[in-house]
Amino acid sequence: MIAVLKPGVTLDERNKLTQWLEHQGVEVHVSEWKSKTILGLIGDTHKIDDELLSVLDIVESVNRISEPYKNVNRKFHQEDTIITVGDVKIGGGNFCVIAGPCSIESEEQIITVAKQIKEAGAHMLRGGAFKPRTSPYDFQGMQSDGLKLLVQAKKETGLPIITEIMSTEHLDLFDEVDIIQVGARNMQNFELLKALGKTKKPILLKRGLASTIKEFLMSAEYIIAGGNKDIILCERGIRTFETYTRNTLDLSAIPLLHELSHLPIVVDPSHATGIRSLVKPMSMAAVAAGTDGLMIEVHNDPKNALCDGPQSLTPEEFADAMVSINKVRAAVI
Amino acid sequence: MIAVLKPGVTLDERNKLTQWLEHQGVEVHVSEWKSKTILGLIGDTHKIDDELLSVLDIVESVNRISEPYKNVNRKFHQEDTIITVGDVKIGGGNFCVIAGPCSIESEEQIITVAKQIKEAGAHMLRGGAFKPRTSPYDFQGMQSDGLKLLVQAKKETGLPIITEIMSTEHLDLFDEVDIIQVGARNMQNFELLKALGKTKKPILLKRGLASTIKEFLMSAEYIIAGGNKDIILCERGIRTFETYTRNTLDLSAIPLLHELSHLPIVVDPSHATGIRSLVKPMSMAAVAAGTDGLMIEVHNDPKNALCDGPQSLTPEEFADAMVSINKVRAAVI
Amino acid sequence: MIAVLKPGVTLDERNKLTQWLEHQGVEVHVSEWKSKTILGLIGDTHKIDDELLSVLDIVESVNRISEPYKNVNRKFHQEDTIITVGDVKIGGGNFCVIAGPCSIESEEQIITVAKQIKEAGAHMLRGGAFKPRTSPYDFQGMQSDGLKLLVQAKKETGLPIITEIMSTEHLDLFDEVDIIQVGARNMQNFELLKALGKTKKPILLKRGLASTIKEFLMSAEYIIAGGNKDIILCERGIRTFETYTRNTLDLSAIPLLHELSHLPIVVDPSHATGIRSLVKPMSMAAVAAGTDGLMIEVHNDPKNALCDGPQSLTPEEFADAMVSINKVRAAVI
Amino acid sequence: MIAVLKPGVTLDERNKLTQWLEHQGVEVHVSEWKSKTILGLIGDTHKIDDELLSVLDIVESVNRISEPYKNVNRKFHQEDTIITVGDVKIGGGNFCVIAGPCSIESEEQIITVAKQIKEAGAHMLRGGAFKPRTSPYDFQGMQSDGLKLLVQAKKETGLPIITEIMSTEHLDLFDEVDIIQVGARNMQNFELLKALGKTKKPILLKRGLASTIKEFLMSAEYIIAGGNKDIILCERGIRTFETYTRNTLDLSAIPLLHELSHLPIVVDPSHATGIRSLVKPMSMAAVAAGTDGLMIEVHNDPKNALCDGPQSLTPEEFADAMVSINKVRAAVI
């Protein structure tokens, strides 16, 4: 970390700052170039609050040379983290496809879809029980009843299950869930992240709509700082000026996150694009870019159903996409 | 609401959809223009889930003519909502300045600042006890101890107090707080919004970093749908590509929200800009644009303190800003 | 196109508008639903200026059902456009890799790189002679001297060449250039687009940093409206809030543009990411998503050179990337 | 400027770089902190191409301490630049309102509007002759005929005139124009900026839709580097995710640009918001924030006209806005 001091800082002011920094466990090297004084901070600088430092009256600017995240950082943990759920592994060369409907609607629906996606080669079942909706008047999900149906589908198919949590108060309901999902809108719900850091279940953390790669990793750091190391990062599109697609899928996040962190990465092309015809090509692109997994929305009967999303594939479309996904996967490993 | 059907839709498919829509309480008018069939939905369309509708295989596009929010909508509630807290009123022509430190640090600090801002003309005291921080290693606030100090400052000065909540689990601690703040990162923490909808305290709802005006109003609608009508909207800057300022303060939101909603609006120029020298001119601009209030960060001794934000004014700077703010206010009312 | 009229519009006002619209060659269908009057415009609506229409005092909102672009629209031109330059074809199933240095620096440099990329399997040579630079003090390119060196490299290797134009006044200098590139900053330099519409050379049009898919296609429509049908669309990243990568590469633009238009699409992963290690995985991803071509920066000696970009590959890295690119290509066709 | 070298750089590599930097006229100070080597560059660093520097294999990161712009920088030119056009002054405490229609449509229209805005207190007349339109099928302006009408309006009213240029080839037509406007889409049309740097007319430079403050100032630096010091900066809204307003007006740019540069600043609330009812409050806010001028769209008869923009005020609305604008202006000077 480099801090540039303002011109005219007195020796006394500088010493006061230096002592405060050393007190926090970093070594301080001072360089003077004409009117500029530059402090180089060496050591465990992730504990230094750079926003706090940059606000001081005597400080002109602060630049991190090393990253503010530590436990999720590949520099300090070279090997890929591998998440194991039943027979399924994610990360470290293991590829995993998660599929299922946006919302759990009925026993018949979730079990039928579960069987169909398993048949097509999916490794895990997703389904929303608690649904974050922009409008209070929109369907909020089947909630705890939905969770029970999801568990039933797990029992019938053997597929591990993943579903979203929206409040720490619901944590008890997630006992039989294999992976807990944190949605994009809750990526910086820090109290939720702290609570999940104390659980023993793997967490799939979705990138916030307007979150930078650095903020994304810092939110993962919240979970790991609480003691839970089993985190999957999920890129699901960011908010930009473009309105044709629901969000802009940032596939460069895949190789970038692989460089910066040892955590596995999953891509959700369904929510990112919001357009059914883009799901298959974006899935293939994500695989070519090195993703460790995909999360794809599949609905068993979108033609007749009245509450399916525009981005859901039919089971047939999903089976077709899986063929292409597997071809690309075979070409890149 | 207008739904355009795809070419080739059968009469049977169309009737099925029409009946489903009528079942939800809206009237459906059908127009046919060559290959296009257009459904006009009249009535209580805010209950129609437009995302759900637009996904149907037979639907080409859906456009709302009326807004999806109802209770916060000025169309259905012409008079300005006025929030009353002790002697202080916000909205309906009543102007209110909220000031105080980013974080509560000590009894001396919060009480000194409280007295100084009151002296300068502020109407309410702010101070953070629970702090949402990007890094788990940064200071997380004094938490419940901080709340107690804030309540003490209220007693000593008579100023009503406002502070941020981060979890439904902390709600009991907010008994003596006058206004509960929901931070930008929690604007779409729907479980928190639902819980606050059941309280009887006024809520100051900050706009999310990447939230549209429509989403902002929908989040307010969540609170009001729970029964709590006392909501203050707070514009605090949105995330854009510009990096010079921390965020981009969207002052056009003031007259726009006044047109669309009856709720009072407060502007936070400190967090929006992140730059001390911009706080005063942006406060003046917000007042000229018709804001009902301002929320300004003030720290009693930023020169010596080590944890003050770059955007905090000194009490002297705040007093100076208040003079200019009041001049602009006098010119525009 | 659907125009919703404001409540209270008189019959006289409505007739005046209807006549004006019919005068512009569209058919107008009027529907009345309670207080709402809705005009459906049928026919050649791309000539209707929707901004102009939406501003009328009696009009509440305007929505296009059909797209404002016509000549670039796949609806009116089902078959893929194929661009032919010498032996090289782009589009319609033909895949093309364009490579070369950011700037032409010397005869030796451009000829050496040209030979190396040809050896590795590239089909076309790129090199900047006129360079758009943010600062007037930065290197502006070798200009007409650079063009001569590029032409020389074409003669020595037989590779067709592509380079950027920055002003209509330079058009005469581009006689021996095979494809003229319009840079992202000039995507809406309409006078330049009009001039290029009158040339007979293929144009590679880069998407503007903050341009929507619709605006991108409208700029292509400017060229085609002038008479030049040979246009290649180039996705090169859009500006978002993320700062880790230079821009955010929007790969969903590939399948989307293929749906909307018959024009071929090329992706530039070098400028989009600005990071060398991301060029290969993003190239592979673009191919998996169905791109018709790639444009990759390659520099012959970045280790010693002082003016190479951080995103340039060495010839060795490029040759390695080509192997992976071809594997993915083989898997998806 | 600070350059951090990568770990493991040899002394030989470092010396080579140091010599190259010194050769470009800057002093280099070397500091070593454990594995990090840091170069401090002192002197005329705006000539150093930081993109070029950051790409070197041995360089880890580059940070400017001083700005890359020089001639527009207030650090090197303390006094405000004042632009004088006839009797009108802009900058240095002089306030100027520019008004007029989006497009020049007829002799009667432009002269009527000119008289009306003069009557209401405007200081300068605007009117578009060359119109940048997204669609090639939309009205492109009256071009040279429009310019003649604008000059005629100048003669009849005595108001100085300002209008937009779209190509260097039209420069001869602008002889009687007082201020030449560069539109947002051409802010980085560097060939146009270079040509305008050689003229003797004041230039009003609009900020690009996706341009940072730094890029905006660098484009002004292009003009000033050519010899033309008379530049007015115009904030006209930036492109963000918000779709309610056409763009997001960034009013914090006013005090920020005043800190960074000595050039005068004008705000265009009409194009920024695209909504008529927001023009007056945003004008008032801009004045409160310290703008040196406003540019407002006024149309003489929007009720009957068919090509007026949704953001145009009527002359009556403009006169009413001027009263409020002047009140705020009186309160802040």
Interface test with D, best of B251, B276, B292 (most D CBs within 10 A): B251
Whether B31 and C38 lie within 8 Å, measured CB to CB: yes
Whether C328 and A330 lie within 8 Å, measured CB to CB: no
List, in order, residues 6 or more apart from A248 with CB less than 8 Å away: A237, A238, A239, A240, A242, A272, C238, C240, C248, C250, C252
| Structural domain span for residue B143 | 83-332
Concatenated DSSP letters for D261-299? BSS-EEE-HHHHH--HHHHHHHHHHHHHTT-SEEEEEB-
How far apart are alpha carbons B112 and D274 in whole angstroms? 46
Amino acid at D54: S
Whether B284 and D289 lie within 8 Å, measured CB to CB: yes
Domain count, chain A: 2
Low-confidence ranges of chain C (pLDDT < 50): 304, 306-308
Tokens 């995302």 belong to residue = B51
Whether B278 and D290 lie within 8 Å, measured CB to CB: no
How far apart are alpha carbons A128 and A107 in whole angstroms? 13
Please report residues of A whose CB lies closer than 8 A to that of C248. Answer: 238, 240, 248, 250, 252
A to C CB pairs, distance under 8 Å: 121
Please report residues of D whose CB lies closer than 8 A to that of C68. Answer: 135, 137
3-state per-residue secondary structure call for chain B: CEEEECCCCCHHHHHHHHHHHHHCCEEEEEEEECCEEEEEEEECHHHCCHHHHHCCCCEEEEECCCCCCCCCEHHHCCCCCCEEECCEEEECCECEEEEECCECCCHHHHHHHHHHHHHHCCCEEECECCCCCCCCCCCCCCHHHHHHHHHHHHHHHCCCEEEEECCHHHHHHHCCCCEEEECHHHCCCHHHHHHHHCCCCCEEEECCCCCCHHHHHHHHHHHHHCCCCCEEEEECCECCCCCCCCCECCCCHHHHHHHHECCCEEECHHHHHCCHHHHHHHHHHHHHCCCCEEEEEECCCCCCCCCCCCCCECHHHHHHHHHHHHHHHHHHC
Low-confidence ranges of chain A (pLDDT < 50): 304, 306-308
Whether B42 and C61 lie within 8 Å, measured CB to CB: no
Residue B78 in domain: no
DSSP designation for A103? B
How far apart are alpha carbons A283 and C83 in whole angstroms? 28
Q: Which chains touch C (3 or more CB pairs under 8 A)?
A: A, B, D
What was the pLDDT predicted at B34?
A: 67
| Residue in chain A lying closest to B60 (CA) | A310
Whether A159 and A298 map to the same domain: the answer is yes
Whether A40 and D60 lie within 8 Å, measured CB to CB: no
Whether C2 and B38 lie within 8 Å, measured CB to CB: yes
List, in order, residues 6 or more apart from A315 with CB less than 8 Å away: A113, A116, A117, A120, A298, A300
Whether D59 and D90 map to the same domain: the answer is no
Low-confidence ranges of chain D (pLDDT < 50): 304, 306-308
Whether D306 and C133 lie within 8 Å, measured CB to CB: no
Whether C306 and D221 lie within 8 Å, measured CB to CB: no
Given A34, A42, A243, which is nearest D243 (Cβ)?
A243
Given B238, B273, B328, which is nearest D288 (Cβ)?
B328
CA of D43 to nearest chain B CA: how many angstroms apart?
24
What was the pLDDT predicted at A306?
A: 47
Q: How many CB atoms lie within 10 A of CB D13?
A: 16
Whether B149 and B188 map to the same domain: the answer is yes
Whether A61 and D63 lie within 8 Å, measured CB to CB: yes
Please report residues of D whose CB lies closer than 8 A to that of A31. Answer: 29, 31, 38, 40
Residue D11 in domain: yes
Whether B53 and B115 map to the same domain: the answer is no
Amino acid at B192: L
B to D CB pairs, distance under 8 Å: 121
How far apart are alpha carbons D221 and D71 in whole angstroms? 6
| Residue in chain D lying closest to C103 (CA) | D52
Write down which residue in A63, A92, A107 finishes a domain. Answer: A63
Among residues A94, A48, A46, which one has the least CA distance to residue A67? Answer: A46
Helix (H, G, I), strand (E, B) or coil at D89: strand
% of chain A with per-residue pLDDT over 90: 69
Whether C39 and C126 map to the same domain: the answer is no
Amino acid at C135: S
Residue A315 in domain: yes
Whether A289 and A154 map to the same domain: the answer is yes
Q: How many CB atoms lie within 10 A of CB B274?
A: 21
Please report residues of C whose CB lies closer than 8 A to that of D137. Answer: 46-47, 49, 68, 225
Residue A74 in domain: no
Interface test with A, best of C207, C251, C320 (most A CBs within 10 A): C251
How far apart are alpha carbons D298 and D311 in whole angstroms? 9
Residue B69 in domain: no
In chain C, alpha helices (H)? 11-23, 50-54, 107-120, 143-157, 190-197, 213-225, 253-260, 269-273, 276-288, 315-332
Amino acid at B221: E
CA of D261 to nearest chain B CA: how many angstroms apart?
14
How far apart are alpha carbons C251 and C269 in whole angstroms? 10
| C-alpha pair distances (Å), C287 with each of A232, A286, B233, B324 | 26, 11, 46, 59
Interface test with C, best of D17, D26, D131, D135 (most C CBs within 10 A): D135
> In this structure, what is the dihedral angle of CA atoms C166, C168, C172, C178, given to the nearest 10 degrees?
60
Instruction: For residue A136, give the CATH number of its domain.
Output: 3.20.20.70
What was the pLDDT predicted at A40?
A: 82
How far apart are alpha carbons C17 and C5 in whole angstroms? 10
Whether D117 and D248 map to the same domain: the answer is yes
Whether A206 and A235 map to the same domain: the answer is yes
| Residue in chain C lying closest to B35 (CA) | C42
What is the predicted ipTM?
0.91
How far apart are alpha carbons C324 and C316 in whole angstroms? 13
Average pLDDT of chain A is 91
Q: How many CB atoms lie within 10 A of CB A323?
A: 11
Whether D180 and D320 map to the same domain: the answer is yes
| Residue in chain B lying closest to A183 (CA) | B189
Residue B72 in domain: no
Whether A252 and C245 lie within 8 Å, measured CB to CB: yes
Whether C332 and A254 lie within 8 Å, measured CB to CB: no
Given D278, D288, D289, which is nearest B252 (Cβ)?
D278
Global pTM reads: 0.92
Write down which residue in A34, A63, A92 finishes a domain. Answer: A63
Please report residues of A whose CB lies closer than 8 A to that of D3. Answer: none
Please report residues of D whose CB lies closer than 8 A to that of B272. Answer: 252
List, in order, residues 6 or more apart from B331 with CB less than 8 Å away: B288, D327, D328, D330, D331
Residue B74 in domain: no
| Residue in chain A lying closest to B130 (CA) | A191
| Residue in chain D lying closest to A242 (CA) | D241
Interface of B with D (CB under 8 A): 210, 212-214, 238, 240-245, 248-252, 254-256, 259, 272-273, 275, 277-278, 281-282, 284-290, 324, 327-328, 330-332
Is there a contact between A67 and A214 (Cβ–Cβ < 8 Å)? yes
Among residues C191, C188, C223, C209, which one has the least CA distance to residue D195? Answer: C191
Whether C239 and C147 map to the same domain: the answer is yes
Q: Which chains touch D (3 or more CB pairs under 8 A)?
A: A, B, C
Whether A49 and B222 lie within 8 Å, measured CB to CB: no
- Residue B211 phi/psi, 5° resolution? -100, 135
Residue B214 in domain: yes
How far apart are alpha carbons D205 and D181 in whole angstroms? 6
Given B167, B222, B307, which is nearest A136 (Cβ)?
B222
Whether C57 and C99 map to the same domain: the answer is no
Is there a contact between B180 and B174 (Cβ–Cβ < 8 Å)? yes
Instruction: For residue C41, give the CATH number of its domain.
Output: 3.30.70.1140
Interface of A with C (CB under 8 A): 210, 212-214, 238, 240-245, 248-252, 254-256, 259, 272-273, 275, 277-278, 281-282, 284-290, 324, 327-328, 330-332
How far apart are alpha carbons D140 and A295 in whole angstroms? 47
> In this structure, what is the dihedral angle of CA atoms C98, C103, C107, C113, given to the nearest 10 degrees?
-40
What are residue B89's DSSP bridge partners? Answer: B84
Among residues D293, D284, D193, D190, which one has the least CA distance to residue D234? Answer: D293
Given B273, B289, B324, which is nearest D284 (Cβ)?
B289
| Residue in chain B lying closest to D239 (CA) | B240
What was the pLDDT predicted at C306?
A: 47
How far apart are alpha carbons D141 and D136 in whole angstroms? 12
At B8, list the tokens.
């080739």
Helix (H, G, I), strand (E, B) or coil at C117: helix
How far apart are alpha carbons A150 and A111 in whole angstroms? 8
Low-confidence ranges of chain B (pLDDT < 70): 34, 55, 65, 301-309
At A6, list the tokens.
């303002």
How far apart are alpha carbons B149 and B131 in whole angstroms? 15
Q: Which chains touch A (3 or more CB pairs under 8 A)?
A: B, C, D
Whether A42 and A99 map to the same domain: the answer is no
Interface test with C, best of B26, B35, B38, B246 (most C CBs within 10 A): B38
Is there a contact between D159 and D176 (Cβ–Cβ < 8 Å)? no
